[in-house]
Chain A
């Protein structure tokens, strides 16, 4: 057999191997299909880090934590029932969301107005965002609402609520959750997990409603709020306007809602102004934004 024939035979053998590999690969790709529960339980480890921090909370878990935190907020506050205003707030919210870094979360972002004169906005994990009637009264235009909602979306995107959960609590939950292969929990395991779940919610509600997020989280949300509202096309000075209103109001309203849970409005305003100073100018605000804002909020003014 000549050298050339040897090469040809070798080449053919390699080609056959390559084609067979392709066929195998194709079968594997075909095998990629929606995960059934039975399949899900067969998932194998791929050398990834085991769960040990808030970053390892899954999207679905974040959603269920957020639902329960929201259910507790909605047991304290009544909903302000104005369908037109609710739809408007949700539309401004979605406009901001699609320009954020985390536009897709488990069940999407949802916005609701609380029927209280207290001035506040709350962002629960999983994209449940609340804004009070009292806060809406203080909003001058759509730019302000856009900036406030962008700030709240920033809290969700950066998982500030989940970071309020005590680490030991989370580790207990992770160990318990990892123990059983079956999807449904047994009675004893469920009781233990429910108890941890209650404590997790208490950690978050305490931060959200009682003590407020750490100062650094508020500044981070301000920074994200400015970036995202500007990306949407809003003038980020809307946040400055709102903070100025809060500086003016703070003398008479310390110790309640927003005043209790947020750091000094003056300090935040200075930081936000500095950030905006380095950005390119925003085009003039079209009048339609002002008119649709005025129509939507007339019931709270």
Chain B
């Protein structure tokens, strides 16, 4: 009788683990690149960089951040603004998109207003100053520069509100 009870407990545990695994949500990176961080903070160090279209599995969530597991099994934190939720079935055999598609499909397919549309626009509008836009994109602020700036100015974690 005791054995039976143990077996039932074991089964219960396995069932809970299985159900949790089955309802684990998948997320897709929707920004060009995002940092998988050690902690759920922008100041936390980077484990690896993920690119648009990469799909990860959620493990937990906390205050605007998701703890995730990558395809390679790496665990870390991503900010919610960098990902979109959904079920991304990459094994489907249906190769056609409907006349209207969802935002997820367009994002996955890299369609929409994209580089090709910009190139076409440029040929018609030579006055538009894309060279200046590209220079604008080159100005970067590193994590260390930002941390130094915040620390000296007593901002963010060094004095501001949490």
Could you tell me which A residues sit within 8 Å of B by CB distance? 4, 7-8, 11, 14-15, 18, 21-22, 25, 29-35, 37, 39-46, 48-51, 56-61, 63-65, 67-68, 70-72, 74-75, 79, 86-87, 90-91, 93-95, 98-99, 101-108, 110-112, 128, 142, 173-175, 177-181, 183-185, 190-191, 193-194, 197-198, 200, 230-234, 283, 286, 288-289, 292
Contact A99–B156 (Cβ < 8 Å)? yes
Chain A residue nearest to B30 in the complex (CB): A59
Q: What 1/0 mask marks residues of chain B from 132 to 162 whose CB sits below 8 Å from any chain A CB?
A: 1101110111000110011011111011110
- Select from chain B the residue with minimum beta-carbon distance to A35: B53
| Chain A hits for B62, CB < 8 A | none
Contacts of A18 in B (CB 8 A): 14-15, 18
Residues of B within 8 A of A42 (CB): 90-95
A142 to B112, CA, bound (A): 39
Within 8 A of A (CB), among B99-132: 99-118, 120-121, 124-125, 127-130, 132
A41 vs B108: C-alpha distance in the bound complex, in angstroms? Answer: 7
**Contact B133–A29 (Cβ < 8 Å):** no
In the assembled complex, which residues on chain A have CB atoms less than 8 Å from the CB atom of B130?
67-68, 71
Beyond contacts A103-B79, A232-B156: 16 other A-B pairs, Cβ-Cβ < 8 A, are A29-B69, A34-B51, A35-B53, A40-B110, A42-B91, A46-B89, A64-B117, A67-B133, A68-B118, A74-B136, A95-B146, A105-B31, A112-B136, A178-B99, A181-B109, A230-B160
A70 touches B133 (CB 8 A): yes
| Contact between chains at B156 and A194 (CB < 8 Å) | no
Query: Contact between B154 and A58 (Cβ–Cβ < 8 Å)?
Result: no
- Tell me if B79 and A104 are in contact (CB < 8 A): yes
Q: How far is the CA of A61 from the CA of B103 in the complex (A)?
A: 10
